[in-house]
Amino acid sequence: MTPEQAVVSVETVSAIIDGLEVTVPKGTLIIRAAEQLGIAIPRFCDHPLLAPAGACRQCLVDVEINGRAFPKPQASCTMPVENNMVVKTQNTSPVAAKAQEGIMEFLLINHPLDCPVCDKGGECPLQNQAMSAGRSETRFEGEKRTFEKPINISSQVLLDRERCVLCARCTRFSEEIAGDPFITLNERGALQQVGIYENQPFESYYSGNTVQICPVGALTGASYRFRARPFDLVSVNSACEHCASGCDLRTDIRRGKTLRRLAGDDPAVNQEWNCDKGRWAFKYLTTRERVKSPLVRGSDGELHEASWPEALAAAAAGLKGKRVGVLTGGRLTHEDAYGYSKFARVALGTNDIDFRARPHSDEERDFLAAVVTDLKTSYLDIDKADHVVLLSFEPEEESPIVFLRVYRQVRKRGLLVTSDAPIASRGSQKLNATLVKSALDISGLTSQSVILVGERAAEVEGALSAALELAQSSGAKLAWIPRRAGERGALAAGALGNLLPGNRPVADSAARVDLQSAWGVNSLPTTPGRSTAEILSALNDESLDAVVIGGVDPMDISVDALNQLLNTFVVSLEISHSAVTAIADVVLPVAAVIEKSGSYLDWRGSARRFDKGLEDAELRSDVRILSMLADEMGAPINLPTVSATAREIESLGSWDGAKPTMNKRAYVAPAVEEMTLVSWRFLLDLGTLQLGEANLAGTAKEARAHISSATAATLGVTEADLVVISSDLGSIELPVSIREIADNLVWVPRNSAGSQVIPSLGFASGAVKVAKR
Amino acid sequence: MADEAKSFSQQLLGFWVTFATMFKKVNTVQYPEVKEPTAERFHGRHQLNRYDDGLEKCIGCELCAWACPADAIYVEGADNTEEQRFSPGERFGQVYQINYLRCIFCGLCIEACPTRALTMTNEYELADDDRAKLIFEKEDLLAPLRQGMIAPPHPMYPDSSHLNYYKGEITGSDPSQEPGGSK
């Protein structure tokens, strides 16, 4: 039961179902009350998270109120329980049983005998309930209605119309939950079918959920089609590595290969939903060539395979006694990030560690250490909010489950949403968001309001201070929602220059002494560490000698990042060959998510643990490798396994001494240039973790340059004409979309096909030239 | 005394049985020089059948693997495409393995097969000196191409659908189904 169901009215009603008395809150549907008694009424259209539809009629039961019986069986999924109600299900009423049998016979008349080739076979509610509630033999001798099949309603969802039982779960989900009513029931009678609009494909970020909730095999995923049967699969609980929403997932594995992922069931987080990226983007692991054994650069300048002792010795020789920086990236588990953090402090004797592989600022570092470590805002606060403020944050693109939560309240009770986005994205339109210029223009917040700040706030000086000011002055709840899954965990693990594990400030000697005694070391570095950008420039001017890099794509940081690594000793811990492994001196292979255990901290700071999916995987987690490397360097960190690391984190606890205070900066509105580029990432784009999944990429939004009609008139372009956006470094060329946006702004997606902003232009936002092509 | 006489006569009786057997028809077969035909419904090695134009009947549905009490069958399905068609309809069995170290020749897989793709032959000579050789792959199990059959992949019979195949209406191949044949 979700918390909000718990606070619904306490008024209860009692009824008798199959001779058993049940007392439920007023408004409970008969089918739910029966579930509480352990009585299963067959159903297709009913879904606890969707509005009742009464579409399939499979759940017919006999109902009697105050001694008067309904003349015909009633649908138990649409009728609430009332006092003095007597319900007889198929178990006690022959009439209800016969009615259900009849409905099943009708449903099967036009249902093809596809079970042997249908993906749903073996886990199909229609198959199961036809056995339990249907007739044993068919009486139908005519021709079944057929349709052309299957049809692609998007590149990743296939529709077999003749299998559909018209339960409308998919259309109701798309409209009620996702807010993308791109599919609907067309035609009438026997020809009724699910269809898409002529000009609008089913390009919803949540379309995979319709495949999961389809009670027959009418909607199937293109990537899983014909791949396996349910009995082939081994299911493991897993956590999603794609964003900080924190979804519970189920991963299905056949013979050491991930075949599909499904949304898990966590009422406090993702309910029963997830986004298409979390569901379908898992082939990145098999697409790029994996690093399988350690590599060491030889005297000939080439990388050669090496044994573990050789590689660890080479890495230790290059790091020991040197001035070293550590870049971890935002995709690590909490335990792995802790490994890097302890390795930097104990083995390398430095605080030069930073998890932020993206545009960042010193203000953000202060904000993370002083404010974010204490935040306790949760999904429940969004459910109860009177006003949600989005600052430098596009929930649908950057944390899709947060979007679903906000959208649910917008739809249910018209929740007020305000955003500081420069342009109304589709997500903002669905949320009916009011756009303002900055946090300074927002007023009227109460202690019930929620302010959600995204990672892009670091790109505008003073934006985080303004957000904090807004929260403090109004008492509103604040949350910081990064895009990547590992950032909140890395923060808790102290993978940041001014913070030690467990929120201990580097500058606080009491906190250092506390950690020293816990770790059993004599001293810890006292100088606050450098940021990612400072580490890179220090490597470049040789005030640092070497660097240890986790899963970082240098292009996410800046266009120069890779060049800055060229003349330095690089130790890379990677899963696949990448731009960093190509220039590294020692490459140490590590396990990917499915091959290791661990946990991710979501934006709330709550952990979701997951176990190793592939039992016979040979590679080890980053923390294990770092522990071996530290041993080799003679400064052990004693973290032999992930579970030992988790125990150490647990026993270390969180710092309860004095917190650093946030040194607030004044908000500096971005300089008004003739033309300024603004951007954020789409959920589905050219991200590394989406490689190799063409069906998913097929539903990514098309990259377009959004400009105002006045700008378009000045440039002399109309909709879909090409424009060239250029900086000193390079240019990108995109078709135009004329939208409501300030005249001096141009918005483009940050990392989509044809629009990779940082590699092409050298920055994520700033002054550009726009011209007609 | 009487006991001894009885014992002697019984011994004679025993020798008589031995002696008389020498004149009976022998059951011994000089295998492997001589091979006796099996019973008509003997459960021997499996075979994956074809339609009369050579397309495979197997649709990769895994019902045989599901039915198998010894977990001896492994199947992976895949999509037929217009360029690469192995069976009528959308789906075919891309990987098909039977492990004869496990198979108990019960025939439940044959009962489960919805397209009659899997049947059993009378072949019983399945011994080998290498365990790996006793995992039969799809090419070991597929029925040989008979007269008029074309080796897949090739298109379906002109102007037909998978339903025509299922109803047994395809009785041979058409030259246009040959590799490089006109559509």
- Separation of alpha carbons A389 and A419, rounded Å: 6
Using a CB-CB cut-off of 8 Å, the residues of chain B touching A117 are 59, 61, 77, 89-91
Please answer yes or no on whether A227 and B76 come within 8 Å at the CB atom.
Answer: yes
- Separation of alpha carbons A359 and A370, rounded Å: 20
Chain A residue with Cα closest to B74: A232
- Separation of alpha carbons A20 and A2, rounded Å: 26
pLDDT at A339: 97
Q: What is the pLDDT of residues B144-169, one digit of tens each?
A: 999 999 999 999 999 999 999 999 99
Residue B82 has pLDDT above 90, yes or no: no
Please answer yes or no on whether B61 and A227 come within 8 Å at the CB atom.
Answer: no
Helix, strand, coil fractions of chain B, as percent rounded to 5? 25, 15, 60
Nearest to A229 among B62, B79, B91 (CB): B62
Residue A2 has pLDDT above 80, yes or no: no
pLDDT at A630: 97
Please answer yes or no on whether B79 and A226 come within 8 Å at the CB atom.
Answer: yes
- Separation of alpha carbons A155 and A223, rounded Å: 10
Per DSSP, helices labelled H in A248-391 are: 276-280, 284-287, 308-319, 334-342, 362-370, 379-384
DSSP per-residue letters across B114-151: TTS-EEE-S------S-GGGGEE-HHHHBPPP-TT--P
Please answer yes or no on whether B63 and A122 come within 8 Å at the CB atom.
Answer: no
**Which H or E element spans position A417?**
strand A416-419
pLDDT at A670: 81
Q: Is A365 exposed, middle or buried (0-12, 13-18, 19+ CB in 10 A)?
A: buried
Mean pLDDT of chain A: 93
Q: Are B179 and B151 in contact (CB under 8 A)?
A: no
Residue A4 has pLDDT above 80, yes or no: no
pLDDT at A203: 86
Q: Are B77 and B173 in contact (CB under 8 A)?
A: no
Report the gap between the CA of B63 and the closest CA in chain A (Å).
Answer: 7
Q: What is the pLDDT of residues A284-342, one digit of tens each?
A: 988 888 999 999 999 999 999 999 999 999 999 999 999 999 999 999 999 999 999 99
Interface of A with B (CB under 8 A): 116-117, 121-122, 150, 225-229, 231-232
Chain A residue with Cα closest to B88: A117
Arithmetic mean of pLDDT, A607-627? 92
Please answer yes or no on whether A226 and B77 come within 8 Å at the CB atom.
Answer: yes
Nearest to A116 among B59, B65, B76 (CB): B59
- Percent of chain A whose predicted confidence (pLDDT) is above 90: 87
Interface mutation target, options B57, B64, B90, chain A, most CBs of A under 10 Å = B90
CA dihedral A679, A684, A686, A692 (to 10 degrees): 180
Report the gap between the CA of B108 and the closest CA in chain A (Å).
Answer: 16
Using a CB-CB cut-off of 8 Å, the residues of chain A touching B89 are 117
Q: What is the pLDDT of residues A494-546, one digit of tens each?
A: 999 999 999 999 999 999 999 999 999 999 999 999 999 999 999 999 999 99
- Tokens 């309809």 correspond to B89
Q: What is the pLDDT of residues A472-508, one digit of tens each?
A: 999 999 999 999 999 999 999 999 999 999 999 999 9
Nearest to A116 among B76, B79, B114 (CB): B114
Nearest to B78 among A122, A226, A229 (CB): A226
Interface mutation target, options B56, B57, B63, B163, chain A, most CBs of A under 10 Å = B63
Of A128-142, A193-207, A376-390, A708-722, minimum mean pLDDT range: A193-207
Q: What is the pLDDT of residues A439-482, one digit of tens each?
A: 999 999 999 999 999 999 999 999 999 999 999 999 999 999 99
Residue B83 has pLDDT above 70, yes or no: yes
Provide the token pair at A234.
Answer: 């081994």
Q: Are A745 and A759 in contact (CB under 8 A)?
A: no
DSSP per-residue letters across A274-285: --HHHHH--THH
Using a CB-CB cut-off of 8 Å, the residues of chain A touching B61 are 116-117, 121
Please answer yes or no on whether A226 and B62 come within 8 Å at the CB atom.
Answer: no
Interface of B with A (CB under 8 A): 59-63, 65-66, 76-79, 89-91, 114-115
Using a CB-CB cut-off of 8 Å, the residues of chain A touching B77 are 117, 226-228
Which one, of A357, A355, A399, lies nearest residue A377 by Cα?
A: A399
Please answer yes or no on whether B90 and A231 come within 8 Å at the CB atom.
Answer: no
Residue A280 has pLDDT above 70, yes or no: yes
Arithmetic mean of pLDDT, A640-658? 95
B19: number of Cβ within 10 Å: 10
Nearest to B60 among A122, A226, A231 (CB): A226
Chain B residue with Cα closest to A113: B114
A84: number of Cβ within 10 Å: 13
Arithmetic mean of pLDDT, A62-68? 94
- Separation of alpha carbons A291 and A574, rounded Å: 7
Please answer yes or no on whether B65 and A229 come within 8 Å at the CB atom.
Answer: yes
Of A347-351, A367-371, A611-615, minimum mean pLDDT range: A611-615
User: What is the strand order of the sheet A151-152 is part of?
Assistant: A151-152, A157-159, A219-221
Q: What is the largest CA-CA distance in chain A?
A: 93
pLDDT at B181: 65
pLDDT at B183: 47
Residue A1 has pLDDT above 50, yes or no: no
Q: Is A85 exposed, middle or buried (0-12, 13-18, 19+ CB in 10 A)?
A: buried
Please answer yes or no on whether B66 and A227 come within 8 Å at the CB atom.
Answer: no
Q: Are A324 and A334 in contact (CB under 8 A)?
A: no
Please answer yes or no on whether A117 and B59 come within 8 Å at the CB atom.
Answer: yes
Report the gap between the CA of A689 and the closest CA in chain B (Å).
Answer: 25
Q: Is A111 helix (H, G, I), strand (E, B) or coil?
A: coil
Using a CB-CB cut-off of 8 Å, the residues of chain A touching B63 are 116
Report the gap between the CA of B133 and the closest CA in chain A (Å).
Answer: 21
Chain B residue with Cα closest to A160: B90
Q: What is the pLDDT of residues A687-723, one digit of tens each?
A: 999 999 999 999 999 999 999 999 999 999 999 999 9
Using a CB-CB cut-off of 8 Å, the residues of chain B touching A223 are none
Interface mutation target, options A118, A226, A254, A255, chain B, most CBs of B under 10 Å = A226
Provide the token pair at A374.
Answer: 């204490």
Please answer yes or no on whether A226 and B115 come within 8 Å at the CB atom.
Answer: no
Q: What is the pLDDT of residues A166-205, one digit of tens each?
A: 999 999 999 999 999 999 898 888 888 888 887 777 889 9
Q: Is A194 helix (H, G, I), strand (E, B) or coil?
A: strand
The ipTM assigned to this model is 0.84
Chain B residue with Cα closest to A150: B90
Using a CB-CB cut-off of 8 Å, the residues of chain B touching A226 are 60, 77-79, 90-91
- Tokens 């995109």 correspond to A734
Residue B79 has pLDDT above 50, yes or no: yes
- Separation of alpha carbons A320 and A632, rounded Å: 10
Please answer yes or no on whether A117 and B89 come within 8 Å at the CB atom.
Answer: yes
DSSP per-residue letters across A754-766: TEEHHHHHSSSSE
Arithmetic mean of pLDDT, A125-149? 91
Per DSSP, helices labelled H in A110-163 are: 125-133
pLDDT at A669: 85
